[in-house]
Amino acid sequence: MTRPKHSAEPAVWNEFVARHASGGVIDGTVVSVVPFGAFIDVGDGVHGLLHESAWGTRPEPGSRVAVRILALDVENRRVSLTPA
């Protein structure tokens, strides 16, 4: 099975996980909007998913948003986000 491509290099991901935890609030930039959510760059190329069910209004690519880390999936290098 092929592993999905991740947004950040392993060292960058590890640094991100060392600095952040579930529940933390960070500012990010909307990278792209897809039918199921928006991908947010939360620093150093690490992208998290803000699920569309959590939107108050649809975010625009390039806009800055404050988000809370809902969950960190360390093994799969995924970040789940919710509005802060």
Residue 7 pLDDT > 90: no
Please state the separation of Cα 39 from the chain's center in Å: 6
- Within a domain: 4: no
Domain holding 18, by residue range, is 10-83
Instruction: Give DSSP secondary structure letters for the chain.
Output: -PPPPPSS-HHHHHHHHHH--TT-EEEEEEEEEETTEEEEE-STT-EEEEEGGG-SSPPPTT-EEEEEEEEEETTTTEEEEEE-
For 14-51, write each residue's pLDDT tens digit: 999 999 999 999 999 999 999 999 999 999 889 999 99
- Within a domain: 77: yes
pTM: 0.86
pLDDT for residue 4: 41
Number of domains observed in the structure of the chain: 1
CATH number at residue 43: 2.40.50.140
- Within a domain: 59: yes
Q: Rg for the chain (alpha carbons), in Å?
A: 12
Instruction: Give DSSP secondary structure letters for 54-66.
Output: G-SSPPPTT-EEE
pLDDT for residue 6: 53
Mean pLDDT rounded to a whole number for the chain:
90
Mean pLDDT for 56-84 is 95
